[in-house]
Amino acid sequence: MPAAPARHRRLHGDPLPPGLSPLGYNKGMIKIAPSILSADFGILAEEIARVEAAGADQIHIDVMDGRFVPNISMGFPILDAIRKRTRLPLDLHLMIVEPEKYLAEFVARGADMLTVHVEACPHLQRTLVSIRELSALRGAPVKSGAALNPATLSSSLDYVLDDLDLVLVMSVNPGFGGQKFIPAVYPKIRQIRTQLGARAVDVSIDGGVKVEHARPLAEHGASILVAGSAVFESGDPAAVIKQMRSAAG
C-alpha cells in the first residue's frame, strides 16, 4: 500500500501552518469550526487536510454515546486518527452521560477543549474545574466548555461563569447532523453574552449553521460557528469558510 501524502502524515509535534498558534488563532475574527461528523469517514485524512487548507480555525468533534442522544459516534480511535493529522485545536463536544469518567483520557489523546452538556452534569462546576486541572496532564491549557440544548435556559450557567472558557449553544436538538437551524436561539446568545460580561469566554453555535446565519449570529454575540454539512458537503470548503467569515464581519 503506498505511503500517505506528506500532508496526511502530519504529527502532533510538527509545527503549525504559518499564521497559526495553539489556542491563539485568528484573534479578533469569527472562528469557523468544521464539524467532523459531516465528513466522509472513508477519506477522513483527506477531509481534514481539505478543511485545514481551507482556513478552518479548529476541528469540532461530536462524541455521542447513544444514551444522552439517540445516536452513537466517534470515540478514542477516531480522536487518535484526527490528532495525528492536524495541528488545529480539537474541540470535543461530549454528548454523553457521566463525561467526567473520560475527561483525562480525552486530554491524554490530544483534546484542546472539552465541552460537556449541563443537562448531563449534576455537578457541573466540579466537572468544569476538573477539565482545567487537566492542563497539567496535557502540558498546555485545556479549555472547559458547557453546552446548552435549545430548550435549556441560559440561567443554568449563572453559578459557573468563572469556570468557563466556552459556552456552546445548540441551534438544533443534538444527536444528528444535517438538521435545520432553530432561530429561537438568537436571543439566547445575546442573553449569554450579557451574563458573561467582560469575561474572555467564547460563545459557539452548533447546528444547521449556514452562510446566511453568520452575520446575525455574530451580531448577537457568537464568536465560533460550528459548520458541518455547509462545509464538508460543499464543492469548495475554502469559499464557504471565507464567505462565513466575511459575512460575520
Catalytic residues: 62, 206
Q: In what order do the strands lie in the sheet with 224-227?
A: 31-34, 224-227, 202-206, 166-170, 143-148, 113-117, 90-95, 59-64
> Rg of the chain's alpha carbons, rounded to an integer?
17
Residue whose C-alpha is closest to residue 32's, from 217, 174, 184, 175:
217
Query: What is the SS3 assignment for 60?
Result: strand
To 10 degrees, the CA torsion angle through 169, 240, 223, 86?
Answer: 90
Q: Which residues pair with 223 in a beta bridge?
A: none
What burial class does residue 208 get, using C-beta atoms within 10 Å of its C-beta: 0-12 exposed, 13-18 middle, 19+ buried? buried
User: Do the Cβ atoms of 218 and 238 come closer than 8 Å?
Assistant: no
Q: Specify whether the CB–CB gap between 34 and 228 falls below 8 A.
A: yes
Query: Which of 203, 201, 159, 209 lies closest to 180 in space, CA to CA?
Result: 209
Strand extents, DSSP E, the chain: 31-34, 59-64, 90-95, 113-117, 143-148, 166-170, 202-206, 224-227
